[in-house]
Amino acid sequence: MMRSLFSGVAGLKTHQTKMDVIGNNIANVNTVAFKSSSITFNDLMSQTTQNASGANAQTGVGGTNARQIGLGVKSGAISMNIKGQGSAQSTGNPFDIMITGDNFFVVNNGLENFFTRDGSFYVDGVGNLAMASNGYNVMGWQVDPETMDIKKDTVSALRIMSAANLTYPPEATSAATVTGILDKADTDVTSDAGMVKNLNFYDSLGYQYTARLVFKNADEDGIYSVEVSKILDADGNTITDGAGKAIDFASLFGDSSQVNRTKNITFNATGTYSWAADGKSITVPGTPTGGTISNLANLVSVSGTGLDLTQTVTYTPDGGTAEDMTGEEALALIAKGYGYEGDTKGFLNLVVTTENSTTTSQVTVEEMLAKQFGATNDQVLQTLKEVGEAHLNADGTSATFVSDGSKFNGALIKFDPDTGNFNNINGGKAVTLKLTDIIANADTGASNFSDITIDFSGMTMFNNNGTSTVTAAYGDSKGLNTGRMLGEMIGVSIQKDGKIYASYDNGMTKLLGQIATANFANSSGLEKKGDNLYSSTMNSGQFDNIGVDITSTGGYMTTGVLEMSNVDLSSEFTEMITTQRGFQANSRIITVSDTLLEELTNLKR
């Protein structure tokens, strides 16, 4: 009689335990990445009132089974459905991450590692990726500074918003490409000023500059020249060398060349141009910019080898008051008067053939100015005064000089005149814009610039109805070595394999680290620690402090979503009904047993 009472009590206890499990599942139906549990029952030991006996061949009596009375029920195993994948819940937060597969995130509280499927992360005040609920650091692998790839060693906290990661360093441009059609019928190409194309590039500090590339055609079919007319900073100012001196930009390609171009520019002394050797003045042709420029001896450099256009000269406009201006401004006026507005260098490079009774020479306008107004005369080329005296007209006026070509410091581009395809530039497919030796710190000799290798092999000389499509862009044919300005971080993205990349406003991306995961031989053996955390046990297998790439086990990560609880409410409610009925039935065992005991006690009245 007493055994049934205790069986009923055991039944009540075990069903209460099952109800506790069910209640916990239902309570966590909306808990991020919660894994539901289930319980199984085992019967308790049984009381044997008669052991089993075997058959007796001698007596012919058969065997009997054991007589056992069960003593109730007990809780068996409580198992987590830890491999059951929860549904995805979209959050839009880029730091919310869901794992698909059997792996776990690794987090650390500063003392030990824990494991979780809860991917609701955020970036804390010092830049660490951490759990939003308790601030535990998310663990992963760092970037090897030498290879800039992930180094999979002992896991450590991922500090993705460190000071070093908030910006991307600038870099000097070291390669460029020029592509497109150069149409020989393009009026810009055939003009005296030539066709101008801008090439933007960066120095090592991230400042942007613009090189003006000038393309001009030669008399020979299929040959064109390209030179640098100037380099401008971001504010549009012409840059100087490290000592503040003007730069001969045309020499930046390094090679001096001559190409025949008929210019038909006439210099004479009869009202348009006065080559006055003694008075050292020049009359600027044309109005309203006409006038006289004097003190031109100041334009000659100290060494007497060329022009120093930073020096001051005096300009007296026609009918106006004298004013000071730089040599560069003065020569710009002269060039404009002869149709070379905006192309002072092109004007100075015009070639004039001079001769006297013994010598014939070719000099440029720049050389004519330097030799005429310089403190010393060139030993090879006669001064313009000497040449002029040998070429007096019959009326005693100076002779007329006609420019029949142009000299330039640049490179020659050659196309196949039959096919229009690119042939070579200075014998190769690229030339180097030599910046480091010319634009450098006057004291240290160091340069913020890099020499730029410019590839011209993408050009053609096809008919395009008189319109050229030439473009110049930084970077090589693979888009590398472009250079860049300093970049500010504008976003962070996490890939399926857990790699974290930052994007910057200079177009660059940077690998910041990779989220490591843990995988266990028996993940059901993990022990719950609260806060959606688990710890390893002897039966789950130990964590090696290195972790695994989630993709190596067939899993992946998804950002902007969280894993929901895998609790199935319909199953839980069904289990709750059967548990309730089981509990009721066990309670009836006790009440019926009590009634029987009551009848027994009522036998004696």
323/278 same-domain check: yes
pLDDT above 50: residue 25: yes
Q: Are 313 and 305 in contact (CB under 8 A)?
A: no
- Residue 197: the pLDDT is 96
pLDDT above 50: residue 375: no
How far is the C-alpha of 129 from the C-alpha of 125, rounded, in Å? 10
pLDDT digits (tens, 9 = 90+) for 469-503: 999 999 998 889 999 999 999 999 999 999 999 99
- Residue 589: the pLDDT is 87
pLDDT band at 373 (very low <50, low <70, confident <90, very high): low
Q: Are 46 and 74 in contact (CB under 8 A)?
A: no
364/323 same-domain check: yes
513/528 same-domain check: yes
Give the residue, 51 or 156, on which the prediction is more confident. Answer: 156
Q: Exposed, middle or buried: residue 103 (CB in 10 Å: 0-12, 13-18, 19+)?
A: buried
How far is the C-alpha of 100 from the C-alpha of 515, rounded, in Å? 14
Q: At what angle do helices 569-601 and 2-27 cross, to 10 degrees?
A: 160
pLDDT digits (tens, 9 = 90+) for 395-440: 544 455 667 677 766 788 999 988 999 999 988 999 998 888 777 7
- Residue 67: the pLDDT is 86
How far is the C-alpha of 74 from the C-alpha of 17, rounded, in Å? 10
The per-residue pLDDT of the chain, averaged, comes to: 84
How far is the C-alpha of 184 from the C-alpha of 190, rounded, in Å? 7
Please report how many Cα atoms fall inside a 13 Å half-sphere around the Cα of residue 111, on the Cβ side.
1
Q: Are 435 and 449 in contact (CB under 8 A)?
A: yes
Which of 348, 371, 405 delimits the end of a domain? 405
437/502 same-domain check: no
502/443 same-domain check: no
- Residue 12: the pLDDT is 92
pLDDT band at 60 (very low <50, low <70, confident <90, very high): confident
pLDDT band at 133 (very low <50, low <70, confident <90, very high): very high
pLDDT above 80: residue 288: no
508/539 same-domain check: yes
- Residue 518: the pLDDT is 95
pLDDT digits (tens, 9 = 90+) for 327-352: 888 888 888 877 777 778 778 878 77
pLDDT above 50: residue 94: yes
469/398 same-domain check: no
Give the residue, 589 or 277, on which the prediction is more confident. Answer: 589
The Cα-based distances of 194 to 34, 225, 354, 366, 427 in angstroms read 73, 9, 26, 19, 22
- The alpha helices in 227-342, defined as continuous H runs, are 327-337
- Top mean pLDDT of 37-51, 104-118, 343-357, 373-387 is at 104-118
- Residue 219: the pLDDT is 66
The mean pLDDT value for 350-375 works out to 65
Residue 130 counted as domain residue: yes
390/325 same-domain check: yes
pLDDT above 60: residue 559: yes
pLDDT band at 384 (very low <50, low <70, confident <90, very high): very low
Residue 361 counted as domain residue: yes
- Residue 255: the pLDDT is 56
Give, as one character, the DSSP assignment of residue 367. Answer: H
Residue 435 counted as domain residue: yes
427/391 same-domain check: no
Residue 318 counted as domain residue: yes
- Residue 132: the pLDDT is 94
- Residue 389: the pLDDT is 47
pLDDT digits (tens, 9 = 90+) for 174-198: 999 999 999 989 999 988 778 999 9
- Residue 207: the pLDDT is 93
pLDDT digits (tens, 9 = 90+) for 573-583: 999 999 999 99
pLDDT above 50: residue 550: yes
Residue 174 counted as domain residue: no
- The alpha helices in 435-501, defined as continuous H runs, are none
How far is the C-alpha of 272 from the C-alpha of 275, rounded, in Å? 10
pTM of the model: 0.68
- Top mean pLDDT of 363-367, 381-385, 440-444 is at 363-367
276/368 same-domain check: yes
pLDDT above 50: residue 92: yes
Residue 385 counted as domain residue: yes
pLDDT band at 271 (very low <50, low <70, confident <90, very high): very low
The mean pLDDT value for 527-547 works out to 93
Whole domain around residue 315: which residue ranges?
265-405
Residue 541 counted as domain residue: yes
Give the residue, 516 or 220, on which the prediction is more confident. Answer: 516
Which of 385, 405, 425 delimits the end of a domain? 405
425/464 same-domain check: yes
- Residue 256: the pLDDT is 54
How far is the C-alpha of 171 from the C-alpha of 202, rounded, in Å? 7
* Cβ count within 10 A of residue 282: 25
pLDDT digits (tens, 9 = 90+) for 428-442: 999 998 888 777 765
Structure tokens at 171: 């870099």
pLDDT digits (tens, 9 = 90+) for 243-270: 777 777 767 776 555 665 555 555 543 3
Total domains, the chain: 4
pLDDT above 70: residue 590: yes
469/529 same-domain check: no
pLDDT above 80: residue 536: yes
pLDDT band at 282 (very low <50, low <70, confident <90, very high): confident
Structure tokens at 180: 């497109």
The mean pLDDT value for 196-219 works out to 91
pLDDT above 90: residue 89: yes
Q: Are 514 and 140 in contact (CB under 8 A)?
A: yes
Residue 31 counted as domain residue: yes
- Residue 272: the pLDDT is 41
